[in-house]
Amino acid sequence: MGSKNKLKRFKENETFSNLFQPSRETLLTDQFEMKGRWHADYFKNNNPIVLELGCGKGEYTLALSERYPDKNFIGIDIKGARIWRGAKTALQEQRHNVAFIRMQIELIENVFASGEVSEIWITFPDPQIKYKRTKHRLTNQDFLHRYKNILIENGLIHLKTDSEFLHGYTIGLLQGLGYEILMAHHDIYVNTEAPKEVVEVQTFYEKQFLKQGKAITYLKFRLK
């Protein structure tokens, strides 16, 4: 994508009523006005809030919001040119149960209050295979602790990835920490027991991975 197109999208992002772009300083000083107020001030209902982390163009956020109109969905990504697509589509289609946040995921506790989130989807994150990149894996122990702090009791986390490494790493970590694994599929298109929303919703990257013959894995777990 050319720099002119990116700049155009960044400018348009500023006009989207469903896209929040808090500064890092705002988040670090715990001044983000929506924290603890998502139900009352944005969605204006008490329906469960579901997050998609690393949402990219928001494919899962949008697809799930259509399937589950009785839930609220928020896509989170740091890439403004990508999140533009999801936010724009949601506005065009008048999806009132959808929002997006452009931010770094490690600051998630500064955006949501304790127990404000019901479910989290992590879709095709960078597996960060090198050992020195462990701290950046979205399912490492520190990130799991952050998620636990914002989830309701028995809140669910879904991990969908093409990385067998990340799939196995996460299973081992969850077992070691004593967390509850509800589903673990090593190839969702071979195992027909995978939930419909896992096999019927395909992101841009997932389609690329399938063309390369990669297996797509899925985990569902609780941080009890």
- In terms of phi and psi (left: phi > 0; alpha: psi -120 to 50; beta: otherwise), the region of 103 is beta
* CB-neighbour burial class of residue 11 (10 A; exposed 0-12, middle 13-18, buried 19+): exposed
**SS3 category, 50:** strand
Q: For residue 80, which of 2, 161, 8, 160 has the smallest C-alpha distance? A: 8
Nearest to 161 by CA among 212, 196, 124: 124
Instruction: Provide the annotated active-site residues.
Output: 126
CA distances from 164 to 70, 171, 218 (A): 33, 11, 10
Q: What is d(CA 75, CA 123) in angstroms, rounded to the nearest whole number?
A: 11
DSSP assignments along 136-178, one per residue: G-TTSHHHHHHHHHHEEEEEEEEEEES-HHHHHHHHHHHHHHT
